[in-house]
Amino acid sequence: MSIKLNNLTKSFGQTAVVDDLSLEVNDGEFVVLLGPSGCGKTTTLRVIAGLEHATLGDILIDGRRVNEIPTQRRDVAMVFQSYALYPHMTVAENIGYPLRIRKLDRELMRAKIQETAALLEIEPLLARKPRELSGGERQRVALARAIVRNPRAFLMDEPLSNLDAKLRLQMRAELKRLQKKLETTTVYVTHDQAEAMTLGHRVAVMHQGRLQQFDTPLEIYHHPANRFVAEFVGTPSMNFFVGELHGNQFTSGEIKLVLPDSPMIQPKPAIRQLVVGIRPEQVHVSVAPREGWWAARVYVTELMGNEVFVFLEIDRQKVVARAPADFRAEPDTAAWINLNADRLHYFDANTGLRI
- What is the three-state SS of 238-304? CEEEEEEEECCEEEECCEEEECCCCCCCCCCCCEEEEEEEECHHHEEEECCCCCCCEEEEEEEEEEC
Query: Would you kindly state where each structural domain of the chain is located, as residue ranges?
Result: 3-232, 239-348
- Give the chain's residues under pLDDT 70: 261-271
The whole-angstrom distance between residue 203's C-alpha and the CA centroid of its chain comes to 7
Class (C level, CATH) for 239-348: mainly beta
pLDDT at 297: 97
**Contact yes or no for 172/143 (Cβ under 8 A):** no
The beta-carbon contacts of 211-219 under 8 Å, at least 24 apart in sequence, are 211/21, 211/22, 211/23, 212/35, 214/23
- pTM for this prediction: 0.90
- Confirm if 8 and 18 have CB atoms less than 8 A apart: yes
What span, in angstroms and rounded, lies between the C-alpha atoms of 355 and 346? 5
CATH class assigned to 3-232: alpha beta
Give the Cα separation of 157 and 306 in Å (integer). 32
Q: What is the pLDDT of residue 132?
A: 94
C-alpha 21: how far from its chain's center?
Answer: 17
Query: What is residue 346's predicted lDDT score, i.e. its pLDDT?
Result: 93
Q: Do domains 3-232 and 239-348 have the same CATH topology?
A: no
What are the distances in angstroms from CA 152 to CA 30, 247, 355? 13, 55, 40
DSSP code of residue 353: B
